Amino acid sequence: MIENTFSIARKELTDAITSKRLWLIVGIFLLFSIASTYATSFGFMMRSQQATRPMVQIASTIASTTAYMAPLLGIALAFDAVSGERERGTLRILLSRPIYREDVINGKIISALAVIGLTITISSLTSVSVSILLHNVAVTLDDIMRICLFIVFSIVLSFAYYAFSLFISTFSNKSSHSLIISIGIWIFFAFILSIISSFVAIAVLGSPPTRAIAIFNRTQGQFGNFTSPRESEEYLSYMRKEAEISSIIQAFSINYHYTQITNSLFGFATGPLEFGQRERATTSISTVLSTRVIDIVVLIVFPIVFLVASYMVFTRRQEK
């Protein structure tokens, strides 16, 4: 049983490595990551004063790119994992051999996890290396630990979308249908849900105070030294409430939980509660992990749920 699983995994890994689709996504991933990190690190060179934690800021730009590219990588590996075999007629031939259905899906999962892990790790480390080599950016042990954790969470995000797309593929008869549904869910979680949450927040709270916004815009370059504290606090209070409502709605998105983790990991403000700060201090890794337990749990549970669902559908469905 284990031998069959690894045999299928080797075949799937070979097919993935030789796939033009995978290399296209990897190329785009690398291009965007390197471009964004180069722009950030080049910005440091143009300033008279070096950033306090340049590598943390560079890693945050990689996280922004990964939040969009990692899901696409998972979808690209999974949308035709089963439906493609079904369309070509190879699935029925494969299952006619002395191979358990669990071996088939386990082999595909192992192969996908290996490809996702290698792709994200190499892309992230390559992007970081570009900044280090071209701009002589200093790297501390804490930076390395944060980058390693970021890579792990990014792999989990990509695998979460792989698990979801695999679930769609197990009961879909056409790969095109599986791809459309998977991409549609990604677009909804990555873009549409955040827009909906903003509209809902405004509908609940009403329009923001106009006078407070005007005063805030005039004084936002002097954080902590507002000329009109009452109006400024009124605006900040409104933004806090809007962020709370928006967070509740976006909590249904796996992308939101990933972003919350990476934002905390790289020390950037995650909402208006941090407005008015001159410097954004980097939170310790232990504090990040302890305060983002719910986000981490959701990120891990999401793929497990859809993997179990995929097993249930695939092992019970009769192939014609």
Single-letter residue type at 293? V
Query: What pTM value is reported for the model?
Result: 0.86
Q: Which residues, other chains included, contact 148 with Cβ-Cβ below 8 Å and sequence gap of 6+?
A: none
Residue 182 and residue 87: Cα distance in Å, rounded? Answer: 18
Residue 136 sits at φ, ψ, to 5 deg, of 55, 45
CA–chain centroid gap for 242, Å, is 23
Q: Domain range spanning residue 27?
A: 2-316
pLDDT in tens, the chain (320 residues): 688 888 889 888 898 888 888 888 888 888 887 777 777 766 666 654 455 677 788 888 888 889 999 999 999 999 999 999 888 888 888 877 778 888 889 999 999 999 999 999 988 888 888 777 777 777 889 989 999 999 999 999 999 999 999 999 998 989 999 999 999 999 999 999 999 998 998 888 887 766 555 555 555 544 444 445 565 677 778 778 888 998 999 999 999 999 999 999 987 544 433 434 444 567 889 999 999 999 999 999 999 999 999 999 998 877 76
What is the chain's Cα-based Rg? 23
Of 179, 10, 20, 21, the closest CA to residue 110 belongs to 10
How far apart CA 33 and CA 259 sit, in angstroms, is 16
Helices (H), the chain: 2-17, 20-46, 54-78, 83-88, 90-95, 101-135, 141-171, 175-187, 193-205, 210-219, 229-250, 254-265, 285-291, 293-316
User: Using N-to-C axis directions, what is the helix angle for 141-171 and 293-316, rounded to 10°?
Assistant: 30
Residue 86 burial class via C-beta count within 10 angstroms: exposed 0-12, middle 13-18, buried 19 and up: buried
**Domain total of the chain:** 1
